[in-house]
Chains A and B, each alone.
Chain A
Amino acid sequence: MSNSKLSLLTSGFVKNNPTFVLLLGMCPTLATTTSALNGLEMGLATMFVLILSNIVISLVAPVVPDKVRIPVYIVIIATFVTVLQLLMQAYVPAVYETLGLFIPLIVVNCIVLGRAEAFANKNGVLDSALDGIGVGLGFTASLTVIGIVREVLGSGSVFGWKFIAGDGILAFVMAPGAFLVLGYLMVLFNKFIAKK
């Protein structure tokens, strides 16, 4: 695979990390990272929609009049989100119930519309697909890391495997913990990974 294609796949981890760099998709990041598994599932669900919508939007972008492009993109994204909803309800109902409201909210996840506007409507199908995979993987990685931290501190377990008896510091699996963990992780990311 040529260098530029490979860089599309890996850009989502550091350079274009949706959570820590682009600051997009904050709502699901805060709400669904109560455990590592939940974060991972949410990331994968979003990636599913991201890849498919990127592909379709890059295909139709040449024929869509400029002034209606946003509503058209939204309809396309909403279609894939609903498909995801129906498939999840049918085949993985437990995951669907855990993620709840945030599955349909993928429609308004700024990452999906943002990549469509910034990349998919200007590039070819293969590149758009790779971009979807790359940013999706970056998002999934971020969510999983935040989920791990919150689960370890808040429930004393990781991916459901408990290593202490009883509860951890419950504040971390509740609302305040989400904001605090995200803030502190952002500091660590900026200092050590992005090296600002």
Chain B
Amino acid sequence: MAAKSNLRNMALCLTAVCLVCSAILGLVNKMTIEPIAAAQKAKTNATIAKVLPEFSGDVVPGSVNVAGVEYSYYEAPGAGYAITSVVGGFNGALSVMVGITNEGIVHNTSTLSHSETPGLGAKCQNDAKFLDQFKSWNPSEKTLLVKKDGGDVDAITASTITSRAYTLAISNALAAYNEIVKNVGGQNNE
């Protein structure tokens, strides 16, 4: 039934199968490269639209270094900057996209990824009571710390660590924003 199991047949068979499969994969990869890129772009654009006021035109990606940490961001023409801020949460990395307008006000935030506890820290993803307080947050009027630490942020019940992390992510994003504005200001003065 099956071919004989000598070295020649085995090597031939395995090589042939690997070649054919790699070829098929190369083909499918080529076919899907564009749709995959488009899907990712659509997802990013949807998040950016969520955290910044309405704008028209394409976003410009960029990256800024603050205290040795790289922050990637998207500049939305006329609307502001959507900065991705990653901090250590309770149970893993907490990644937040913070939308900051050209006046330096936090327009809105969105959790990109987290590993927090369901029902507790995970509320940072969709709990309106926690998230809505950051809409139109003016850092010069209110302090970005949880109430326990002397600030104005209402933490998630029983999830102080996640709340602290989320707040820190926003502060870091603001620091990155200041750095961006400084660089842009520096460029304009040249």
Closest to A69 in B: B2
A29 to B53, CA, bound (A): 42
A66 to B13, CA, bound (A): 11
A65 to B21, CA, bound (A): 18
A78 to B28, CA, bound (A): 14
Contact assessment for B4 and A65 in the assembled complex, using a CB-CB cutoff below 8 Å? yes
A37 to B121, CA, bound (A): 23
Q: Which B residues are in CB contact (< 8 Å) with A79?
A: 21, 24-25
**Contacts A79-B25, A174-B118 given; does A66 touch B5 at CB 8 Å:** yes
- Bits for B1-37, please: 1 = Cβ < 8 Å to A, else 0: 1111110011001100110010011001101100110
B183 adjacent to chain A (CB < 8 Å)? no
**Contacts A79-B24, A82-B25 given; does A90 touch B35 at CB 8 Å:** yes
Closest to B12 in A: A65
Q: Which A residues are in CB contact (< 8 Å) with B158?
A: none
Contact assessment for B2 and A83 in the assembled complex, using a CB-CB cutoff below 8 Å? no
Contact assessment for A65 and B40 in the assembled complex, using a CB-CB cutoff below 8 Å? no
A174 to B18, CA, bound (A): 39
Q: Classify the interface of chain B: helix, strand, loop or mixed.
A: helix
Contact assessment for A76 and B21 in the assembled complex, using a CB-CB cutoff below 8 Å? yes
Interface residues on chain B, number (Cβ under 8 Å): 26
Q: Which B residues are in CB contact (< 8 Å) with A60?
A: 17
A170 adjacent to chain B (CB < 8 Å)? yes
Contact assessment for A68 and B10 in the assembled complex, using a CB-CB cutoff below 8 Å? yes
B148 adjacent to chain A (CB < 8 Å)? no
- Bits for A72-100, please: 1 = Cβ < 8 Å to B, else 0: 10011011001100110111010000000
Contact assessment for B39 and A65 in the assembled complex, using a CB-CB cutoff below 8 Å? no
Contact assessment for A89 and B14 in the assembled complex, using a CB-CB cutoff below 8 Å? no
A147 to chain B, nearest CB (A): 15
B105 to chain A, nearest CB (A): 31
Of A61, A72, A93, which contacts B43 at CB under 8 A? A93
B119 adjacent to chain A (CB < 8 Å)? yes
A60 to chain B, nearest CB (A): 8
Contact assessment for B32 and A67 in the assembled complex, using a CB-CB cutoff below 8 Å? no
Within B34-70, which residues are at the interface with A (CB < 8 Å)?
35-36, 39-40, 43
